[in-house]
Chain A
């Protein structure tokens, strides 16, 4: 396996969707290719970053304006 194939396999590798032989080849390549190892690690950090980027601090928890709630409830009467 070369770097291009390795990088293409990352998503399916992380999702546990690679068949055994491809998974083995992927891991063999990673073990001998530090740049692909770094790429995989950074890909993982990127996914974590996405998840964390939208975690609001508890104090910023959304209060829905009462006017909006009332508008929503009123809209049901028109349905």
Chain B
């Protein structure tokens, strides 16, 4: 299809690009779109799931960016600023199509006895579970498990562990506290561990834990 992606601008070029954007230069806007859209489309797709929604999100995000470029203060990188706009638009898209009430995450969290021991202690995982992740089929499986998480947990997991945004940024985006983000992230990872345990667990006790819901 199109030619190889245009390399992102060097730091030196960023100031020139920004000046062009502020001056309303068509060329500058086109450069911005051509150098950033591929990565940002992937970001939108990771969050909203479908190609169609991702394209809409990307379009909305750039429209928003074009409107607010005058307020961009230049203390973050342009790419970071755009990334945040895309994530925000993608989250709005997720919220707008929210269908069913959210399932509880409790069944996927470890349960404890009164003495503080795990009800079902962690069993062994197959050797090289991390090496298995080199296989596309295993990565597909992991993505499918992430999609099984309740939406609010999936969102925090995506933003923190995959988009690698800071706790502070995620808290601001979700209009909540940093502590709430940490708690949700911890639960999301624990729940995903239980789901992956269904595949990687080798012992009966281990394998039963995730499947017991």
Q: Which residues of A are at the interface with B, using a C-beta cutoff of 8 A?
A: 2-5, 7-8, 10-12, 35-36, 38-39, 41-43, 45-57, 61-66, 68-69, 71-73, 75-76, 79
Q: Which of B55, B66, B112, B162 contacts A79 (CB 8 A)?
A: B66
* A-contact 0/1 string along B115-127, CB 8 Å cutoff: 1111001111100
Complex Cα spacing A46 to B200, Å:
11
Task: Determine whether the beta carbon of B196 is less than 8 Å from that of A46.
Answer: yes
Chain A residues with CB below 8 A from B124, complex form: 38
Q: A35-B121, A46-B192 are in contact. List 8 more A-B contacts (CB 8 A).
A: A39-B122, A42-B193, A45-B130, A46-B189, A49-B196, A65-B55, A68-B58, A76-B29
Complex Cα spacing A63 to B63, Å:
20
Chain B residues with CB below 8 A from A5, complex form: 116
Q: How far is the CB of A75 from chain B (nearest CB, A)?
A: 5
Task: Determine whether the beta carbon of B122 is less than 8 Å from that of A38.
Answer: yes
* A-contact 0/1 string along B124-159, CB 8 Å cutoff: 110001100110100100110010000000000100
Complex Cα spacing A61 to B39, Å:
9
Chain B residues with CB below 8 A from A52, complex form: 133-134, 139, 142
Contact segment of B30-38, B73-81, B98-106: B30-38
Which chain A residue shows the least CB distance to B46? A54
How many residue pairs at the A-B interface have CB separations less than 8 Å?
143
B67 within 8 A of A: yes
Chain A residues with CB below 8 A from B39, complex form: 62
- State the interface size on chain B (CB cutoff 8 A): 55
Main secondary structure of the interface of B (DSSP, over half): helix
Complex Cα spacing A43 to B68, Å:
40
Contact flag A42-B66 (CB < 8 Å), given A3-B117, A53-B146, A68-B55 = no
Task: Determine whether the beta carbon of A62 is less than 8 Å from that of B38.
Answer: yes
- Most chain-A CB neighbours within 10 Å: which of B117, B122, B136, B146? B122
The 8 closest A-B pairs by CB, nearest first: A2-B116, A35-B121, A53-B142, A39-B122, A11-B186, A38-B122, A4-B112, A4-B116
Q: How far is the CB of B190 from chain A (nearest CB, A)?
A: 7
Q: Which of A7, A39, A75 contacts B59 (CB 8 A)?
A: A75
* A-contact 0/1 string along B1-34, CB 8 Å cutoff: 1100100000000000000000000100110011
Contact flag A53-B115 (CB < 8 Å), given A12-B182, A47-B161, A61-B5 = no
Contact flag A72-B62 (CB < 8 Å), given A11-B185, A45-B125, A57-B136 = yes
Task: Determine whether the beta carbon of B139 is less than 8 Å from that of A53.
Answer: yes
Q: Which of B45, B58, B189 contacts A47 (CB 8 A)?
A: B189
